[in-house]
Structure 1
């Protein structure tokens, strides 16, 4: 008996892709399948791999298959014709009639499964495929198509089991195209699970099947690299580049492998060698941006800026390249250059919340507070991710503080701190509360900042807030710590003197104030009069 084989249309997927094409193909002569499935499906029951029990304790009994009679073969042909003509209710009726007449023949179950699948009845299709598996346990089509249903239903662990079983069973049965599609489906689920060791084995089999497919060669090298076998992937990457020297993705992978091996200089040379070989400005920009990243990792931010700038020349419409240049110029404290770069990025992608928030941040460092506030507000309307949202709120809050809008500043900074706690946000929140004369809140926020990062600035402001809140002993402890670490901290000596005076220790206070005055603190000089 020849069974109809229905298989998932293969997908050339890059690693990290989790999509699965859901198209059924005609692969044999008995039943043609020409239905393109949609990407949504009703909720499915849990489907499991049929089993006959442990080999150690159970004797496997071969299923008893009853051959079709001549009349049943005719009825099967009619059902197939109805299915092919998309007369699905008629096809279902005929297949169900056949199942009633001859339940122990796998062909009617298989045809009925395809028909129910086409009618979006995945539950019914899964049941019929399970009957097919029980009657034809040596065939790969049953578990493979159960995998299709499981994938569509989001039951990815089950799908992986089914595809693995199908890949094992298909040896000696499936044509090369069918083998490829089974392996592609298995690779998709392994990619989703991030099992790169198993994926390497699957793609190795696929590479043996289609040795001239350069995309498969690339994916195999990528999987090996992600499984920690980067050095073992090198021969394949070099072979791929010999076959197609203009492949930018292979050159990028090669650079990544050398970086992972602790050889960034070698990675940079490979990128430099590949840049003239690639054919488009977009590809050259990608190589240059990777070069900028590696240079940044080595500490050469100056050369990294030049690489990113070159990327913008190669691909003037690449907003990410301008944003990367802006980021690198910010690292080098080149604020005007960063501003120009981010303005270009925002011009190219005005709906990008991260670019707009970064622009706002640069404006803030340049004292352009009103513009920074406006850019941050705009970023908040562009559906930012959590990190961008917290950053935009921070910029908005600091800008409002500088503009004397303390209520707005406090609201924005509190919201930012609740989403992404940071020492800087807590510091500015404390300063805002202090400016609004809410000294208890100021002390609380500044204490949080010190806990997250005990910088001298945060501790000095905490001492000031504690002093203003009449918590003199705590303030003195903080300020004594500062002057012990840095005896030339004039402001800390001044605040320490005020703290001691508030505790009626005038002799100690005058000693501290004289030290501050000698260090040039004008307010200490006034306090001594």
Structure 2
């Protein structure tokens, strides 16, 4: 169902916006983790492995996998001496004070003195990361992960580096590994940071089933976070579990009845279940609960969309118009009203709505191009051409660019500017091929007496959408190009389908006469004349 797919796309965008850039988890500066790191190396600590030589030059989730570890020599973790612990404290203080060169020097000194203790590697990694030396930071984190394979900070922070480098599949693997290790190690804040990083990568990958699991875990950490409840409902809906998301959405609305995003999501879920009438009732019920005009406008616009989808375009227009009254500075509402009015053939009403949208959002190429299109349908070719030209200066997206070029081309054709029309329509057709654009391009070429180009463009229009208008014009262009047999074939097909097409009979007669088949030609011309074609009557004299 088209509307459902649109709804789900909106949900996806909302979810992606939740994923901010990840930051390093500096847990080594907390008391609990300091104690843990400094106790690594007690006699009870088992031997761990360093990555094999040549495998530690860049962050990689495979650096600490069993296969790699099996190939590497075992190294016993060595505890820090008392002097080294003092030096570690000085290095941390320098890092926290922002004196990064000094922190790096101190950490590197510690690494030289005691390479097989994880704490200096971790601190050095954070310092190098702060200095934008991601390669060096990744190397040190790999050493930390090899010396402390049960700690989650290593894979998490390697994941941060992978995210920053755009290696998102790798980051996803590393964050999942960190999430699996952090139980009983991290506090609530650190756990949430890891899970949010994992959620961001799952969202990017559109793995909404896994995302639902991750967000459910976050909601356990902070059950009062209503935004997490909302995101969880979104993820479940996107994973195809909209019905399962309903209890969470209703619970969220019980806690925050004025949340318009939850009300919209609720309506979307019912639409996805094939229950648009229920969705409309939920939107109506939410109206008195929301507090601002902008929120009421959002509900009304969604109502307009639903009504349009169900075929009640008149009520859809009224809903969009009501949205403009609730939020008179909302350009989106005016543009939607204009779109709905144009679809109903209310061109003056659409013009007024789009003029308001453009006034409120003068830098919107899409609104300006839509305004140009309405002016074109009203026959205001000069202003349509001007608006289309203005839209082209506003950095339009590809679809808007193609639309503005189309309007510009048709307006130019109507004004007799055939060279300009052909240039604009050719550019539009290159970006977004359509039967209408090809038709007008063919007409422009025909008007410029370039009949071969006209026939080519009109043939493309017929290929994309074989309307009678495109086919009769193709027949005319083929006839003008002296391709009489091809013209006859096209035109004979037209009169077979619609024997009352006078223009097709007339052109068919001309194509037959050009092939010196006068008897056939007169039969076709008589049929056209009987249907009132004056040119056919003249041709019979």
TM-score, normalising length: structure 1: 0.92
Q: Give the Å deviation of 1:77.
A: 1.4
Distance apart, 1:123 and its partner CA: 1.1
Report deviation, 1:205.
0.7
2:64 and 2:149 in contact (8 A); partners too: no
Paired residue for 1:471, among 480, 483, 498?
A: 483
Gaps of 5+ in 2: 1-12, 35-56
Matches within 5 A, 1:40-189: 45-54=58-67, 64-189=76-201
| CA deviation after TM superposition for structure 1 residue 45, in Å | 4.0
- Counterpart pick for 1:448 among 438, 460, 463: 460
1:428 equivalent in alignment to 2:440? yes
- Of residues 14-23 and 373-382 in structure 1, the stretch that sits farther from structure 2 once superposed is 14-23
Q: Could you tell me which residue of structure 2 aligns to residue 320 of structure 1?
A: 332
SS of structure 2 residue aligned to 1:19: coil
Q: Is the 8 A contact 1:63 1:134 kept in 2?
A: no
TM-score, structure 2 as length reference: 0.90
Equivalent residue, structure 2, for 1:28: 30
Does the Cα contact within 8 Å between 2:305 and 2:316 map onto a contact in 1? yes
- Residue 311 of structure 1, aligned match among 323, 334, 337: 323
Q: Deviations over 1:309-350 (max 9, x none)?
A: 111111111111111111111110110011111111111111
Q: In the alignment, does 2:242 pair up with 1:241?
A: no
**Secondary structure of residue in 1 paired with 2:442:** helix
Q: How does 1:225-236 map to 2 (within 5 A)?
A: 225-236=237-248
Structure 1 distance, partners of 2:190, 2:490, is: 73
Q: Is the 8 A contact 2:59 2:142 kept in 1?
A: no
Q: How far, CA to CA, are the matches of 2:261 and 2:32 in structure 1?
A: 43
Alignment partner of 2:496 out of 477, 484, 495: 484
Q: Distance in 1 between matches of 2:497 and 2:94?
A: 89
Residues 198-230 of structure 1: CA distance to partner in whole angstroms, max 9, x if unpaired? Answer: 100000111111111111100000000000010
Give the aligned partner of residue 7 of structure 1: none
Q: Residue 49 of structure 1 contacts residue 143 of structure 1 at CA under 8 Å; is this kept in 2?
A: no
Give the Cα separation in 2 of the matches to 1:65 and 1:25. Answer: 21
* Matched residue, 1:193: 205
Distance 2:58 2:429 in 1: 44
CA displacement 1:366-417 (0-9 Å, x = unmatched): 1000111111111111111111111111111100000000010011111111
Q: Distance in 2 between matches of 1:387 and 1:173?
A: 51
Check the 8 A contact 1:31/1:111 in 2, yes or no.
no
1:325–1:341 Cα contact (<8 Å) kept: yes
Structure 2 CA distance for partners of 1:30 and 1:226, relative to 1, 3 Å = closer
Q: Structure 2: how far apart are the matches of 1:434 and 1:521?
A: 21
Once residues 231 and 52 of structure 1 are traced to their aligned partners in structure 2, the CA distance between those partners, rounded to angstroms, is: 40
Give 1:505 deviation, angstroms: 2.1
Query: 1:5 corresponds to which residue?
Result: none
> For residues 458-486 of structure 1, what are the alpha-carbon distances to aligned partners after superposition, in whole Å with 9 as ceiling and x for unaligned?
00001111111111111111111111111
Return the offset for 1:51.
2.6
In structure 2, how many angstroms separate the alpha carbons of the residues matched to 1:461 and 1:294? 39
Match of 2:345 among 333, 336, 342: 333
Deviation at 1:259, TM superposition (A): 0.5
Q: Is the 8 A contact 1:31 1:80 kept in 2?
A: no
CA distance in 2, matches of 1:31, 1:117: 19
1:269 paired with 2:284, answer no
Residue 19 of structure 1 deviates from its aligned partner by: 3.0
The 3 A distance-change label for structure 1 pair 200 and 30 is closer
C-alpha distance in 2 between matches for 1:25 and 1:311: 48
C-alpha distance 62-166 of structure 1, shift in aligned 2 (>3 A)? farther
Which residue is equivalent to 1:205?
217
- SS at the partner of 1:15? helix
> Cα gap change, 1:264/1:367 in structure 2, threshold over 3 Å: closer, same or farther?
same
Give the count of matched residue pairs. 505
Gaps (5+ residues) in structure 1?
Answer: 1-12, 33-43
* CA deviation string 1:421-455 (max 9, x = no partner): 11111111111111111111111111111111110
Aligned to 2:48: none
Q: Which residue of 2 aligns with 1:372?
A: 384
